[in-house]
Structure 1
Amino acid sequence: MKQRLTEGNVGRQLIGLTLPMVWGVFAIIAFNLVDTYFVGQLGTKELAAMSFTFPVVMTLGSLALGLGVGASSVIARAIGEGDHSRVQRFTTNSLTLGLVVVAIFVSLGLFTIDPLFTALGADAEVLPLIREYMRIWYFGMIFLVIPMIGNSAIRASGNTGTPSIIMTLASVVNIVLDPILILGLAGFPRLELQGAALATVIARAVTLVASLFFLHFKERMISLKVPSLQETLWCWKDILYVGLPAACTNAINPISIGVITSFLATFGATSVAAFGVASRIESFVLIALSALSASIGPFVGQNWGAKKYIRVRLSLRLSFIFCMIWGGLMTLILVPLAPWLSSLFNKNPEVVEIATRYLWIVPISYGTAGIILVASSAFNALGKPIPSIVMTVMRTFILYIPIAYFGGKIYGVNGIFAAATISNLAVGIGAYIWNQKSCSLKAVEKAEQAASAS
């Protein structure tokens, strides 16, 4: 195991880490868009059924992502310390932890499909369709959780290219299988929603095989030795210390989207549709910042473990500068192009007009939104998950939702959109200050003194 990220030009290494991740994030977005498109060909009921599954799928995806963040944090620092045995222990035990989590949630999920989705508002007409989809999806949950943890471990080694290739492979398999299994092409039976779930499971299964193969045979990060119970529990505790807060942080985002959507619904279906259009455009615009935040974690973790603190501070400074430049550039691009981009998704003039207003107001804060993402990833990489969840709670529940509520009452949809800008700007500035203090030389000296004293 090489400390790939502790030597060399910091800027070039960050670019080398981020560019493959840009494609990987794009592949994930394409995966979900293709699913939605082909299920939409079946009819409104089927699309509604799949929409009902999104909160559950996103919540469990957030849990898997959180476990991956926890694993990446401890593995990257162990690599930086040069302790290969510790790297293997953490990698292996992160995967076993994933298996335990899968077993628990599959058992709970299969027995709670009807009451859970009834509570979410599904009626008797849609519930059988949800049941068809989720029964297959739950059994395939192992193919979601284990590859996400495995890819996080690979990224912790400083390799973002391989996880991006694996994600792209999954997207390609899903794109090929969706029309075949959903619509019944090439002699296959028409499975409709079951076909969508089956295509997802098969695509994810490919990523499971690929990630485990690479971890074991290429990076030598998996140990086949059966660990003791004491060692397993010790590793799980370290992983969950970062992973559980990260999972909670990721789960907050879909909750906030649901609340904001309910606020917009009071202004009519066109406002909700416009928010959906603008959010879809926004997801593409923010790919670079999401990729950077995923890349900064391994870099910070390895260099912090290797005590290369100056490199950590330089990487964060360069990342924050990039976030502000990217945010400013996207604002300049979206101001003239927002009406045209919105019309690509929906031709309704009212929808286009409201979506355009969103894309004129919110992008002002994209730079600071990127700073929040990068700072959160850096804190998790340092083994400090609390600042990340504090920033998320502050942005969502203290600022965004209350300001959106009162802003909507006073200024209509513009007030709701402005709430996103205000919360991003305020928390982004706070995230920058907090991160700089945590990575200052004084903070480093205190941490080393505490470590030597213990």
Structure 2
Amino acid sequence: METKQTTSPAAQENIMGTMSINPLLVKLSVPMMVSMLVQALYNVVDSIFVSHVSESALTAVSLAFSLQNVMIAVGVGTGVGVNALLSKSLGEKDQYRANKTAENGIFLAFCSFAVFFVIGLTCMKPYFYAQTNDAEIAQQGIRYLTVCSVFSLGLFMQTMSEKLLAATGRTNLSMCSQLIGAIVNIVLDPIFIFGCCGEALSGTTGAAVATVIGQFCGAGAAIFFNLKKNPDIQLDWHGFRPSADAIKRIYIVGLPSIAMQCVGSVMTFLMNKILMAFSATAVAVFGVYFKLQSFVFMPIFGMNNGMVPIISYNYGARRPDRVKKTIKLAMCYAEGIMLIGFLLFQFAPDKLLGFFAASDAMLAIGIPALRIICLHFLLAGMSIILSSSFQALGNGMFSLIVSICRQLVVLIPAAWLLSQTGNVNMVWWSFVIAELVSVVMSFALFAQLNKKIIAPLYN
């Protein structure tokens, strides 16, 4: 008979509560950073292979990103709520609440799938034709996003199961499950996209099929790890009933995260409409930028996944010094990563665009675009860390406020105004303007949070 690990919540205290912050943050974050880099590769590979089919196929996948990102937002945002509350419950030694949080999180993953299953069957055509009148682009996008939505159960189960592993400090297992899903997708992409399984499963449809198969494989691995290697959570489905209280607590933290990422989807949708007035190539460049910048931002999001349970645990255990030290250290690492990204985008934009079979027209728009947009990287690292800190401390609404102001109140109006110059290169400066506003707001809100809930913990 197989024996489970015997790590208990008390043993977990030795990691979250007493281990030095720097090695602890590295221990929990590096596996997640690696897995998020793989996740970035997961997303980029689709576009790289699709770009070799045609530029219209690349544009279709770019237009699909807004709604696809909403699915990811719901899955990740719900997982963030579960992650923060589960870690806090373990820090407070409340095993019952930790178990109920996990059970209701899995239930919510199934509910999320049901919603997007219906959306996938009913909303694809109006969604794409709201962005383009090109029938070829629209049809390729409809096929791609319908498959991703109707078979999204793998996405939601993989995301939730990985958050359960991360919340209990098992980020190495979370990394393994993501690696499995990503590798499956990368292997299957060229097989499906280039028609090796028949014309019906080629092109953008093939890209979608490879994606959902990878998601189901990753979900299966993450579920297995939770059942066999995660004794800090005991799931008992006998007589299970959804708990309104547990769901409320999950979404108090998770809804701002969902809304924040959905704001990003609205921004992308509106930016695509602004850029489409210039050309479909400008939209393709914007889509490629989002794929490329994920290699810079995803490692920081991975570090956030390691940072959040440390902050939540020590907040629950009333250890403010460890909370603040975690935030400062994470911010230093984030800025280092952003500096590397800035240098790559600034000095090798043509090489980056070359991965996507960029035409001369695409290079003419894309090279100045990458060089301008990357200027905001140097500010974004601070904003991202503070935003996740708000969520870890149970004040996700601050993250939402900053995100709405950055992407809807500042970015889109600035992009529209700059587009009136008739020069597409001016539109990219809206990212820099918006990030300046974001970082100022983030520090102001953190000062308020520090005064109200962190400083009193010293007493």
* Equivalent position to 1:170, from 161, 166, 181: 181
Aligned residue type for 1:232 = S
Aligned residue type for 1:179 = P
CA contact under 8 A between 1:134 and 1:197: conserved in structure 2?
A: yes
How far is 1:178 from its partner? 2.7
The residue aligned with 1:452 is none
The residue aligned with 2:325 is 314
Q: Distance in 1 between matches of 2:21 and 2:434?
A: 31
Aligned residue type for 1:213 = F
Q: 1:234-313 maps to which residues of 2 (within 5 A)?
A: 234-269=245-280, 271-313=282-324
How far is 1:390 from its partner? 0.1
The DSSP-based 3-state class of the residue aligned with 1:224 is coil
Q: Distance in 2 between matches of 1:96 and 1:151?
A: 15
How far is 1:45 from its partner? 6.5
How far is 1:388 from its partner? 0.6
How far is 1:384 from its partner? 1.2
CA contact under 8 A between 1:300 and 1:378: conserved in structure 2?
A: yes
The residue aligned with 1:144 is 155
Q: Distance in 1 between matches of 2:362 and 2:436?
A: 26
More deviation, 107-116/22-31:
107-116
Deviations 1:1-48 (A, max 9, x none): 323322211112222223222221222222223323444555566656
- Aligned CA-pair RMSD: 3.1
How far is 1:309 from its partner? 1.3
The DSSP-based 3-state class of the residue aligned with 1:8 is coil
Query: Closer, same or farther in 2 for the Cα pair 1:135/1:209, shift >3 Å?
Result: same
Whether 2:449 is the aligned partner of 1:443: answer no
Aligned residue type for 2:329 = L
The DSSP-based 3-state class of the residue aligned with 1:439 is helix
Aligned residue type for 1:249 = M
Q: Distance in 2 between matches of 1:131 and 1:265?
A: 18
CA contact under 8 A between 1:379 and 1:385: conserved in structure 2?
A: yes
Aligned residue type for 2:39 = I
Query: Closer, same or farther in 2 for the Cα pair 1:78/1:200, shift >3 Å?
Result: same
Whether 2:235 is the aligned partner of 1:223: answer yes
The residue aligned with 2:4 is none
Q: Distance in 2 between matches of 1:201 and 1:385?
A: 30
Aligned residue type for 2:80 = V
Q: Distance in 1 between matches of 2:188 and 2:375?
A: 40
Query: Closer, same or farther in 2 for the Cα pair 1:101/1:269, shift >3 Å?
Result: closer
Aligned residue type for 2:453 = A
More deviation, 284-293/4-13:
284-293
How far is 1:120 from its partner? 5.1
Q: Distance in 2 between matches of 1:448 and 1:227?
A: 42
* Equivalent position to 1:10, from 17, 21, 31: 21
CA contact under 8 A between 1:271 and 1:351: conserved in structure 2?
A: yes
Query: Closer, same or farther in 2 for the Cα pair 1:227/1:5, shift >3 Å?
Result: farther
* Equivalent position to 1:430, from 431, 441, 446: 441
Query: Closer, same or farther in 2 for the Cα pair 1:339/1:20, shift >3 Å?
Result: same
The residue aligned with 2:427 is 416
More deviation, 21-30/72-81:
21-30
CA contact under 8 A between 2:59 and 2:287: conserved in structure 1?
A: no
The residue aligned with 2:171 is 160
How far is 1:106 from its partner? 1.7
Q: Distance in 2 between matches of 1:356 and 1:401?
A: 21
More deviation, 381-390/418-427:
418-427
The residue aligned with 1:365 is 376
Q: What TM-score, normalized to structure 1?
A: 0.86
The DSSP-based 3-state class of the residue aligned with 1:286 is helix
Whether 2:221 is the aligned partner of 1:213: answer no
Deviations 1:336-367 (A, max 9, x none): 43455445556655644543433443333313
Aligned residue type for 1:161 = N
Query: Closer, same or farther in 2 for the Cα pair 1:254/1:312, shift >3 Å?
Result: same
How far is 1:333 from its partner? 5.2
Deviations 1:33-74 (A, max 9, x none): 332344455556665655554333221221111111111111
Q: Distance in 1 between matches of 2:281 and 2:17?
A: 51
How far is 1:277 from its partner? 4.5
The DSSP-based 3-state class of the residue aligned with 2:16 is coil
Deviations 1:188-243 (A, max 9, x none): 545225544333222211122211121122113241243564x6221111111222
Query: Closer, same or farther in 2 for the Cα pair 1:239/1:407, shift >3 Å?
Result: same
Query: Closer, same or farther in 2 for the Cα pair 1:179/1:339, shift >3 Å?
Result: closer
Show structure 1 runs of 5+ residues with no match.
450-454
How far is 1:310 from its partner? 0.8
The residue aligned with 2:77 is 66
Percent of matched pairs sharing the same residue: 24
How far is 1:312 from its partner? 0.6
Show structure 2 runs of 5+ residues with no match.
1-8
Whether 2:399 is the aligned partner of 1:388: answer yes
Deviations 1:75-130 (A, max 9, x none): 11112212222211111111012112322332343244445555555776677666
* Equivalent position to 1:80, from 66, 70, 91: 91
CA contact under 8 A between 2:179 and 2:218: conserved in structure 1?
A: no
Q: Distance in 2 between matches of 1:306 and 1:376?
A: 21
* Equivalent position to 2:114, from 103, 114, 126: 103
Q: Distance in 2 between matches of 1:179 and 1:360?
A: 30
Q: What TM-score, normalized to structure 2?
A: 0.85
Q: Distance in 2 between matches of 1:248 and 1:89?
A: 24
